Structure 1
Amino acid sequence: MITLTKKAADHIQTFLTKRGKGEGIRLGVKTSGCSGMAYTLEFADTVQPEDLVFEGFGVKIFVDPKSHIYLDGTELDYTKEGLQEGFKFQNPNVKDECGCGESFHV
């Protein structure tokens, strides 16, 4: 299961409304960075037959089955700290992260 906070859902919904299209967001992982994997997050304009679909606060999250193995249990939040703002992933599967926070290892 993938969940998101109300703050993240509100932020995503605002972007979807401004965009004028989109079914929700697509969350995944890719091989990258010094720890091995990095998150991917993009607008989802179409639903793929193999997609797993999760919903929170009216926002749909689409995840491919291969990424779901690494993302199961993740909560997506949106934070703003000083001049830094962005999505934050609370992933219980992560064993280690790189120093810059861009990649992780499970």
Structure 2
Amino acid sequence: MLHLSQAAVSEIARLKSKQPNFLVRLAVKPGGCSGWYYDMSFDETLKSGDRTFECNGIQVIIDAESLDYVNGLTVDYSEDLMGGGFRFHNPQATATCGCGNSFSISQELVVSG
């Protein structure tokens, strides 16, 4: 379902050490250059319909509306001259933006997903 690289696990653990009681939330929201974008944040509570996934010792919360969009998603973290950031590799994406956070997906994949 969802995969976190070792670099992503290390960065999330580093960030989480500053807010240990918060949950990691991954969501897909409308917008961005290609129609959809990934949103990672910390949250204090589970909401109705949320699913929890254990990935290399990190619990990730995904809302029901985002589930079909993240099937097979790999989250990585890397640093370059522009700074560090999470990178998203989605095998379902039919197009991505240069920023790496925005993508589009075939509507048939979402409906049949």
Q: TM-score, normalised by structure 2?
A: 0.83
One-letter identity of the residue aligned with 2:25 = R
Shift of 1:98: 2.5
2:104 maps to 1:101? no
Indicate the RMSD between aligned Cα atoms, in angstroms.
1.5
Q: Give the percent of matched residue pairs that are identical in Structure 1 and Structure 2.
A: 35
Moved over 4 A (4+): none
1:18-57 alpha-carbon deviations (Å, 9 max, x no partner): 12421x3110111112311111110122122311111122
Instruction: State the shift of 1:67 in Å.
Output: 0.5
Tell me, which stretches of 5 or more residues in structure 1 are unaligned? none
Measure the CA separation in 2 of the matches of 1:83 and 1:105: 24
Shift, 1:4, TM fit: 0.6
Which stretches in structure 2 are left out of the alignment for 5+ residues? Answer: 106-113
The answer for the alignment partner of 2:111 in structure 1 is: none
Match in the other structure for 1:19: 19
Aligned residues of 1:96 and 1:104 also touching (Cα < 8 A): yes
CA contact (8 A) 2:87 2:100 kept: no
- Taking the aligned partners of 1:80 and 1:35, their CA distance within structure 2 comes to 23
* Mapped partners of 1:17, 1:100: distance in 2: 27
Return the alpha-carbon distance in structure 2 between the equivalents of residues 29 and 89 of structure 1: 11
Q: How many residues align?
A: 105
Contact residue 3 and residue 55 of structure 1 kept, 8 A: no
